[in-house]
Structure 1
Amino acid sequence: MAAFFYLRIILLLLGWFSATACLSQSTGTLTGTVRDSVTQAPLELASLFLANTTYGASTNAKGEFSLPNVPVGQYDLVISYLGYKLYKRSIAVKPGPQTLTLLLTPSAQQLGEVVVRPNPNREADYQRFVQTFLGQSAFSRQCRIRNPKDVYVDYDSDKNELTATSPAFVQVDNDALGYRVKYYGLKFTQNFREQYVVFYGYPVFEEMKARNERQQRRWAANREQAYRGSLTHFLHSIYTGQVTPEGFLVQKMRVVPNPKFPRADSLANALRLARRNTVFSSADQDSLSRWVKVPRAFSMLYTAPRPLDSLRGVQPDSGRVWLRFRDYLQVTYLKEAPDPAYHTARPISAAAAAALPPKGQISTLILLQPEIEIQKNGQLTEPLGVFTDGYWGFEKMGEFLPLDYAPAAPAP
């Protein structure tokens, strides 16, 4: 059993808040009309989509739309239209046709209310948001926000917290994967004091047009790389019972609170206040720094791989599968080395670095409730029921794939 310092969990919700879909052989077709909730007038050119997927459409002059060949499952239906509030509705797509009448509510501006735009972003705050939201991986460095003026960033010095929102959407062009992502309803929070990041919303994916066949092949290869080793890939391997063959090493981790941390936390706060009015000697600085660096907790890693039946529960008659485990999991994907920028972005001690395997992407998975059902495509029915840290926390928009992405079948 090996021991190492436990780092503060980073919660990353790349749109998983919005939808999970159960892919199967059955499909359905959504049709209907989009109207003004007050006048009942049809709304032309309203953008309608299923969040976290590539399924979308626009309404015609009669406000009509059609979304054919949608895999059966649970989705979030979202509609965006200028002058109206963002429409959000959970919907179960069933086999066959479904007809919907969708009513949009006029926004505050259309109703005559005055809306004051926040102060323009400070460049330093905006760049901090971009670095965290897009990520620092090789794929993330090929992402660009195309409408920065639609992003409102604010820094609260009292909370030491950065927040970002958008009244419309944030458009991210990912030239590494060939997707244009419009992120509606973005809510972003980065708390530097507590060391966590949370963001969620309703993204829709659009395939970018490749310049040539070479670029199309590169996008296909990069999408495959982004999928391999991801949380979705791991959950799918649990669903199919192929955790080890798919390249994952799963180990049990226990976290033990550090009894010295409350004192360290108190001294750290005192130090931040005292530094404003006091000059410390080098010896004082060294002594205080030792307390400031005391970890909140320690973790113990059990080296034996976890058996499959300790990770899931299966209902024999229906074949339904639940994610189910105790304590924490350390998940290492052994078939691919980490991105070169990973250890630069998340520095670790020399001792911890020496304990790492020669290759592999190491992540931490924490279950926040007794069990969560895993869908066939590797998505969870309750995405907010897990915390991730480590490599899965490092991968962000650069590796973000739609729910309907399916990796190529392995060669026979």
Structure 2
Amino acid sequence: MVWLTLPVSGWAQARLSGVVLDSLTQQPLPFSTVFLANTTLGVTTDEAGRFAFERVPSGSYEAVASFLGYRLRRLPVVIATTAQQLTFRLPPTATALGEVVVRATPNNPDDYRKFVESFLGATSFSRQCRIRDPEAVRVRYDAQANELHATCQDYVTVENQALGYRIKYYGLDFRLNFRQQWVAFYGWPIMEDLSSKSERQRRRWQENRRQAYVGSLTHFLRSVYENRVAQEGFVVQRLRRVVNPARAQADSLLTLMRQQTTTRRLLNPARFDDSLHALTKVPRQLEYLYTRPLATEAYRQQLPDSGRVALQFPDLLQVTYAREKPDPAYALHLARTAPLGRAAPAAPTTQVSVLQLLLPQVLLQANGQATNPLGVLTEGYWGFEKLGEFLPVNYQPTSPKSTP
């Protein structure tokens, strides 16, 4: 058996080159690191500070330059079919200028543990991820905001033994809000393949990467871009959420009952407790799922005279992928996160996610990335997947092909 790389249609390529300079002296910085964030494309500058990427797939990227003793710099770049050149001017850090730097105190072990669990995730692949330089991360808890905040001065290194990647995550900014129950992080990661002399190990990595890709948000957005949603195995339905009018009435009754707790409990304590419990379970929102699958034209917009593709739809999309079963760890995640007083949901048999747009329209790229990633919000299975399933944007799926 050999592995065949399947080309992704519509991916043009172009050359990207440039130079990295000291912003004060304008002298070249040899052996600097230059990479395209969220990819495996990275190079080192030569003695004259020059670099070149010969064949970059089309799309929007953030080019990043880094050098020890200097501040990281980023430049947005859009790759089409013509060669481009960039000039990075890196300012020296405070230590390079001889200033005094106050070092951070060690992390609180409990805060660091919560950061690791939320950053790496709880999937089966996430359990095979390790942070190799925990001292690079500064974690602090803001009691007033009830929020955990983690940053790193340069980069933090994560090894994913499930997918065979080493990730250097530059400029990490991580936030875990306990009050509103959300996690958000961003930065500029560069990924490189782990090495192995074992052919069996390399094949396992290839299969795990394919498994991480199929059914993922990137897979779905690529299929939307190429107008192959049904062929790729996705079922898309419209989902509406509206405020439950009964919730306001339930809140009023709860307030009244709590004000009269002593009197009512003495009269009939069992009935009082049952009523109180029932009122707390009234949902704040009602969901309406349209059973008929949506035609692609209901959410995919082909912009006139430009060839560009955008996501645009009312309400939300529920996206189901049934060609592969969910990670077994997902059922445990649902049980742990079930609201108090409610039974844990049955183990799901399909991957079900919810997609919400935070902007009226979000442009898509051929590589399956949104031009503005902050315009897309995911829930369900896509929200469950974290760094354990993280693939570079230039990843192309592989498929086994039998040899004669």
Task: Compute the TM-score of the two structures, normalised by the length of structure 1.
Answer: 0.84
User: Aligned with 1:216: secondary structure?
Assistant: helix
Q: CA deviation at 1:240?
A: 2.2
Determine if the alignment matches structure 1 residue 200 to structure 2 residue 190: no
Does the aligned pair in 2 maintain the 1:23–1:71 contact within 8 Å? no
Amino acid at match of 1:336: E
Match of 2:363 among 373, 376, 398: 373
Question: What is the deviation of 1:352?
Answer: 7.8
Cα deviation, residue 213, structure 1? 0.9
Deviations 1:19-44 (A, max 9, x none): xxx98453222223211111122212
Q: Shift of residue 170 of structure 1? A: 1.3
Deviation, structure 1 residue 89: 1.0
2:285 to 297, 305, 321: 297
Q: Match for residue 325 of structure 1?
A: 313
2:345 partner letter: A
SS in structure 2 at match of 1:346: helix
How many pairs were matched up? 379
Equivalent of residue 249 in structure 1, options 222, 235, 246: 235
Superposed CA offset, 1:197-247 (max 9, x none)? 111110111111123111111111111110000011111122222222211
Matches within 5 A, 1:3-402: 24-259=10-245, 294-315=282-303, 318-347=306-335, 348=338, 353=345, 359-402=349-392
1:23–1:377 contact (8 Å) kept in structure 2? no
Is contact 2:334-2:345 (8 Å) kept?
A: no
Structure number with greater Rg is 2
Superposed CA deviations along residues 270-291 of structure 1, whole A, max 9, x for unmatched, are: xxxxxxxxxx999788776666
Go from structure 1 to structure 2 and tell me whether the alpha carbon gap of 1:215 and 1:265 turns closer, same or farther (over 3 Å shift). Answer: farther
Deviation for aligned residue 1:309:
1.2
C-alpha distance 376-97 of structure 1, shift in aligned 2 (>3 A): closer
Mapped partners of 1:263, 1:110: distance in 2: 63
Task: For 2:280 and 2:343, locate their aligned partners in 1 and report how far apart those are by CA, in whole Å.
Answer: 20
1:406 and 2:392 matched: no
Percent sequence identity over matched residues? 51
- Root mean square deviation, CA, Å: 2.9
**Distance in 2, Cα, partners of 1:168 & 1:290:** 51
Deviations 1:344-390 (A, max 9, x none): 11224877835x8x621111100112221222222111111111011
Runs of 5+ in structure 2 lacking a partner? 1-7, 256-264
Gaps of 5+ in 1: 1-21, 270-279
Contact 1:77 1:91 in 2 (8 A): yes
- 1:241 and 1:308 in contact (8 A); partners too: yes
Contact 1:315 1:321 in 2 (8 A): yes
> How far apart, CA to CA, are the structure 2 residues paired with 1:205 and 1:265?
50
- Partner Cα distance (1:296, 1:385) in 2: 25
On the 8 A contact 2:124/2:327 being kept in 1, the answer is yes
User: Partners in 1 of 2:198 and 2:109 — Cα distance?
Assistant: 36
Residues 106/260 of structure 1: CA separation in 2 closer, same or farther (3 Å cut): farther
By how many angstroms is 1:94 displaced? 4.4
Check conservation: 1:169, 1:183, Cα contact below 8 A. yes
Secondary structure at the counterpart of residue 341 of structure 1? helix
**Post-superposition offset of 1:79:** 1.1
Counterpart secondary structure, 2:290? strand
TM-score with structure 2 length normalisation?
Answer: 0.85
